[in-house]
Structure 1
Amino acid sequence: MGWRIIVVTKRAKISYSLGYMVIRGMETHKVFMDEIETVMVDSTAVSLTAAWLHECMKRKIKVIFCDEKRNPEGELLSYAGTVDASCCLRTQIHWNLADKRSVWQSIVMDKIHKQADVLGNHGKQRESELLKTYETQVEPGDDTNREGFAAKVYFGALWGNTFSRNNEGAVNGAMNYGYAILLSACNREIVSTGYSTKLGIFHDNTYNPFNLGCDLMEPFRPLVDEVVMELKPKMVGKEEKERLINILNDKVYIAQKERTVMQAIGIYCRSVIHAVNEGKPELIKRYEVIHGK
C-alpha cells in the first residue's frame, strides 16, 4: 500500500511514464506510482491521460475529483477490486437482515462513544455523559434513532444550539470536505476487497452509489470534527484542506498496533464486512485515538 497523498491545485497535465506519475505544469514533477495512496485533483484545469487513470485503477490508487469550487465531487472506482468480486457481490446481496441490524447497532454505538470522547476533550462533560447514556440505549438497527439524538446534542455542544448541519459556512464546509475524504478512503477499501459500495448495511438510498461507504465511515467522522474544532475555520482554504486531507496520515491505535488512519480504515472496513458475513459484530476492530500526539 502506498502512503503519499498528492494534491494537484493548479493547471497541469497528468500522465504516466515508466512507473511514474508525471505532472507537467509550470514545472515538471515525477512521483513513483507505488508510493501513492490518494490523488486529489483540486482544480478543473487539470487534464489527465487514460493511461495514468488505468494505472491508478490497477494499483488501487484513489483519485478524487473536485468541482469548480474546489469541493470533492466524485472519485475513480474500478469495476472489480479482486478476482472473486462476483462471489463477494453475491454474498453481499444475501446479507442477513438481522446480522446487518446488529452490526449497525455496533457501528452507531462506536460512533456515539467517539463523539462523547470529543466532547469530553473540549470540557463538555455533561453532554459527554449524556451521549454515553445514548450509547447504552442503541438497539439493533438503531430503531429508536439514538444516533440522531446524539448528533443534536453533539453539534449543539460543539458549535452552539443554533448550529445546523444544513447551514452554509466555513465550519460545515470544512466538515463536509473532511467527510468526503473519509468516504473516499472507505470506498477504496470496499472495492479493494471485492465488495460493492452501492449495497449498504443501513444506508439504502437508490440514488447513492456509496451506501456502504457511508455506513463504514461513521465512526471516523469525529476525527474530522476534532480537527475542525482545532482549526476554527473562517474559510476553507489551502491550509485547512491540507490539514483535513492529512487526517489520513494521523496515528490511531487499532488491532494492537499504532497505525495511520488510512491503515485503520482498511482494517476496520474489512472487519465490518467479515462481521456481517459471519453474523458476529464482536469481530469488528475499533480504533482508539492516541491522545497527546
Structure 2
Amino acid sequence: MIKRTLFFGNPAYLSTKNEQLVVNFPEEEKEGKTIPIEDLGFIVLEHPQITITNGLITKLIQNKTAIISCDKQHLPCSFLQPLTGHSEQTERYRHQLNASVPLKKQLWQQTIMAKISNQAEHLHERGQNSKKLKRWATEVKSGDIENHEAIAAAHYFQHLFMHLPEFSRNQKGIPPNNLLNYGYAILRALTARALVSTGLLPSIGIFHKNKYNAFALADDIMEPYRIYIDALVYEMVESGENFEELNKHLKADLLSIPAIDVTIDGNKSPLMVAMSRTTNSLYECFLGTSRKILYPKY
C-alpha cells in the first residue's frame, strides 16, 4: 500500500486517539479531522505554530512515518527517525561497518553509472543531445576517481534548462533552484526513511564522509533518483506557472514524489517502494550475497 503524505502549512494542534492522527485548528470555523496513522508515510510540518503531542510522535515513529520539519525559508531541515528501525539492526550495522573499501568503491561506481545514465535518458527525452553523457556513464571507474559525476552534472544542467540562460545549479541560485532544493530535501528524507527501515545507518556513507553530515548514506543512494525530481521540476517550469515563489500548489506537486512511478528491475513501482528495494539490495551487498545495487532506470 502506498503511504500518504500530509503537509501542514497553517497553525494546527496534532494529537492521537484510537490509532488515529487527530487534527484540530485554532480557527473555530475549521472542522477537525482524523486520519489513520497506519496510512501515513510522511508528515511535513511547515508552520512554526504547530503543536504535536509526544503520544502522536511515538505512534508515528512506531509506524515508521517520517516526520519532516521546515525552517524559516519553508525548506525541509530535519527528519525524525526511530532508534530501532529493524529487528536485526545490530547485525546489519555490523555488516555495513565492516564493508571493505573496494566494495564501497564498486558500489559508488554503480551509483554514478546509474545516475549519469538516467541523466542521459532525461536529456534525450527533452530533445537534447545525450551522447556525451551516455559515453561518460560507461567510463566511470571504481570509486569514480576521475569525478565523472561532477563533469556530467555540469553538462546535464547546462543543457536541461537551456531556455533559462541565467540558470546554474546552485542551492542559493535563482529559480528553479528553489524547486530542486525542496524536491531533493523530500527525496533525502524518503531515502533516509528507507535506510532506517532496512536496518542501516544513514550517517555512514559509501562515498560521502563529511563528519557533520548525519545522512551521508542517504546522499549516496539518492543520486540516481534525483532525475525524477529534475523531471518534475522541468514540467513545472514548462507549464508556464510562476515558479519564482514556492507556493502551496508547487509544494503539493513536489510532495507527490513518493508516489511517482519508476521502473526498477524491469517493473513499474512507486518511488517509495522502489527506494526500499534499493536499500535492501544495498544491504545484500554489505552482507556478501550480492554485488549489485538495484537502481531505477529512467
Range of TM-score over shorter length: over 0.9
Which residue identity is paired with 2:210? N
**In 1, distance between residues paired with 2:244 and 2:232?**
14
**Residue in 1 that maps onto 2:294:** 285
The answer (yes or no) to whether the contact 1:203–1:211 under 8 Å persists in 2 is: yes
Superposed, which structure 2 residues align to 1:81-230 within 5 Å? 81-125=85-129, 128-160=130-162, 163-166=167-170, 167-230=172-235
Shift of 1:287: 1.8
**Residue in 2 that maps onto 1:14:** 14
Shift of 1:162: 5.0
Shift of 1:2: 5.2
Shift of 1:169: 2.5
CA distance 1:119–1:2, change in 2 (3 Å): closer
**In 1, distance between residues paired with 2:290 and 2:20?**
43
CA RMSD of the aligned region, Å?
Answer: 1.5
Look up the SS of the partner of 1:180 in the other structure: helix
Shift of 1:236: 1.4
The answer (yes or no) to whether the contact 2:281–2:290 under 8 Å persists in 1 is: no
Which residue identity is paired with 1:285? L
Which residue identity is paired with 1:69? Q
**In 1, distance between residues paired with 2:284 and 2:204?**
15
Look up the SS of the partner of 2:256 in the other structure: helix
The answer (yes or no) to whether the contact 1:14–1:21 under 8 Å persists in 2 is: yes
CA distance 1:286–1:273, change in 2 (3 Å): same
Give TM-score scaled by structure 2 length.
0.92
CA distance 1:173–1:76, change in 2 (3 Å): same
Which residue identity is paired with 1:235? E
Percent identity (aligned): 29
Give TM-score scaled by structure 1 length.
0.93
**Residue in 2 that maps onto 1:250:** 260
In structure 2, the gaps of 5 or more residues are: 238-242
**Residue in 1 that maps onto 2:270:** 260
**In 2, distance between residues paired with 1:133 and 1:68?**
42
The answer (yes or no) to whether the contact 1:170–1:234 under 8 Å persists in 2 is: yes
Look up the SS of the partner of 1:258 in the other structure: strand
**In 2, distance between residues paired with 1:175 and 1:89?**
32
Where has structure 1 moved over 6 Å in runs of 4 or more?
none
